[in-house]
């Protein structure tokens, strides 16, 4: 494999992985192991991107220098965490405003000056909203083009598929939890039987298959979120 491509693939690993794995160790790994750690190769990934400026790597970029020259580079999972942190920061500002936007004092007492500043606080909130919007836009764009292998779909499509699988699993659990035949005695002493119009064992097999698929899909989505990067 081309040395430049290997270097780019190494740079695509999460920072936590690179902290435990040097470039020399990564090069020494069997190719099949490298492909598992970085499932999307450079050429495949570049072919799937319409606008490279929003993403980390470029043919002339050094992954180690990209953070300094192109802004903060984070994996998709880190970007989602950053959004949550910004939203929590915004909630704190709103809570501060709700608590300190009014000042009470008794007649004859000197009014205590409040540190609350409406203009400054709302400027800060607007700044946070802008940062949240920018990151969410880039995440949404990444979800439309970043592949989830081996499922052959994008992250966005995988999330829709995951929701469908979860709904199918819930129904399969209901069906698999039934008895093939049930017997009960009615209030007037008549024995009544209820049969399932399907094979319960087939439903149980389908449930196991759905659980396995969901687990594999969730791992694939997590891997895509950890091994693909955006600039924020």
> How many other C-beta atoms are found inside a 10 Å radius of the C-beta of residue 222?
13
Q: CA 88, CA 94: separation in Å to the nearest integer?
A: 10
φ and ψ at residue 148, rounded to 5 degrees:
-115, 105
Give the pLDDT of residue 48.
Answer: 46
SS3 49: coil
Give the pLDDT of residue 164.
Answer: 97
Per-residue pLDDT of the chain (232 residues; tens, 9 = 90+): 566 667 667 766 666 667 777 777 777 777 766 666 665 544 454 454 444 444 444 333 444 444 444 468 899 999 999 999 999 999 999 999 999 899 888 888 888 888 899 999 999 999 999 999 999 999 999 999 999 999 999 999 999 999 999 999 999 999 999 999 999 998 888 999 999 999 999 999 999 999 999 999 999 999 999 999 998 8
Give the pLDDT of residue 23.
Answer: 76
Q: CA 19, CA 10: separation in Å to the nearest integer?
A: 11
C-alpha distance from residue 38 to each of 2, 142, 173, 229 (Å): 15, 17, 35, 12
**Unique residue bearing structure tokens 């949404």:** 140
Q: CA 100, CA 81: separation in Å to the nearest integer?
A: 29
Q: What is the pTM of this model?
A: 0.66
Token digits of residue 221: 């989505």
- Cis omega (within 30 of 0) on the bond before 150? yes
Give the pLDDT of residue 224.
Answer: 94
């Amino acid at each position: 494999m081309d040395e430049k491509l290997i270097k780019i693939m190494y740079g695509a690993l999460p920072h936590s992985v690179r902290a435990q794995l040097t470039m020399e160790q990564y090069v020494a790994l069997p190719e099949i192991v490298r492909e598992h750690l970085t499932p999307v190769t450079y050429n495949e990934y570049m072919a799937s991107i319409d606008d490279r400026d929003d993403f980390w790597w470029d043919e002339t970029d050094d992954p180690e220098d990209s953070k300094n020259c192109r802004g903060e580079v984070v994996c998709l999972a880190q970007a989602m965490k950053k959004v949550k942190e910004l939203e929590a920061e915004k909630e704190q500002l709103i809570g501060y405003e709700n608590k300190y936007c009014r000042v009470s004092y008794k007649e004859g007492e000197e009014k205590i000056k409040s540190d609350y500043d409406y203009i400054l606080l709302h400027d800060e909130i607007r700044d946070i909203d802008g940062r949240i919007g920018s990151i969410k836009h880039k995440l949404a764009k990444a979800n439309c083009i970043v592949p989830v292998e081996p499922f052959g779909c994008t992250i966005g499509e995988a999330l829709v598929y995951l929701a469908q699988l979860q709904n199918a699993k819930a129904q399969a659990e209901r069906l698999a939890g039934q008895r093939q035949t049930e017997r009960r005695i009615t209030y007037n002493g008549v024995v009544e039987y209820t049969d399932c119009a399907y094979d319960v064992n087939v439903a149980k097999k389908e449930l196991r298959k759905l659980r396995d698929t969901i687990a594999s899909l969730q791992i694939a989505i997590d891997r895509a979120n950890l091994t693909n990067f955006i600039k924020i």
